Amino acid sequence: MNLDPYASLLRTTIQGKYAVTFREPGEGLSHPFITPGSEQYADELWDWDMPFFNVAMRQIALERNDPAMLDQIRPYERGCILNFLTCRGAGAGYIPIYLNRSGFKWPDDVRNTNMHKPCLAQHSAFLVQQDGGDAEWLRESFKALCAFINFYRNHHFHISTGLYYWQDDFAIGVDNDPCTFGRPPKSSGSIFLNCLMYKELEGVAYLADPTGSGLTRSEHFTDVTPTPSKSRFRRIVGTSGPASFTPLTSTSIVPLTRLR
């Protein structure tokens, strides 16, 4: 199957229409943000939709060698993360799957409810790395990011196996996955979830590199130890990180021509 026409169509469409997904702050959302790009979700912010679309935007800007496009994107991509990290409940670690301008319905028991997929730290690390180590925009919200990681560790983690699990099959991002769909609560240590979480732990470790300027401190973490490496997080969050970190979406963005 020749995918060249589709790659060309995707490139042209993103180049011409990426800005229609931008939304300005207002009501329950204090920062500009990016929508998933469809009419059904025209004014909402979703957990894993925005980082992948954001990467596509950055990829186009890289191909075009367009600093002006990057400058245009930057407040919206950062705002996606900051809206989640400053929403109600974020300071305690629970962050919802999506937000809209009227807020969100608070679950009856946040400890037994699926929440934002573990892609906040790796998205943050991706942006920091792509912007040459600039993490200053994350300074005031980094404690909430640490609380988010701790919440997964404390309420979505099976100690005996070292696996993270879904609470149930609601909004897991892999619709009708037989490994999770219809199974009893807390019984699916999904490989998808654990791959996301592995990169999430790498992402927050990158942001917590001790060689930087010190955006936060180790007391914001509980026993957050990556599995299976058991290497503990770095102590101080800085504006640079170890060269070994590779975001799930790739450190150097893969050109569209390589996705054919």
pLDDT tens by residue, 199-248: 999 999 899 875 543 455 444 444 444 333 332 233 223 333 333 344 44
1-5, 104-108, 132-136: segment of lowest average pLDDT? 104-108
Average pLDDT taken over every residue of the chain: 79
Q: At which residue do the structure tokens 């186009």 appear?
A: 60
Which of these, 81, 223, 226, lies nearest to 142 by C-alpha position? Answer: 81
Give the pLDDT confidence of 110-145 residue by residue, as tens digits. 899 999 999 999 999 999 999 988 999 998 999 999
Answer whether residue 104 shows pLDDT above 80. Answer: no
Q: Which residue stretches of 103-209 are H helix?
A: 120-130, 142-155, 191-207
Indicate the SS3 state at residue 197: helix
Domain limits of the chain? 4-245
pLDDT at 145: 95
pTM above 0.85, yes or no: no
In DSSP notation, 68-118 reads: HHHHHHHHHHHHHHHHHHTSTTGGGT---SEEETTB-PPPS-GGGS--S-S
Q: Residue 13 in contact with residue 56, Cβ under 8 Å?
A: no
Per-residue pLDDT, averaged over 195-200, amounts to: 94
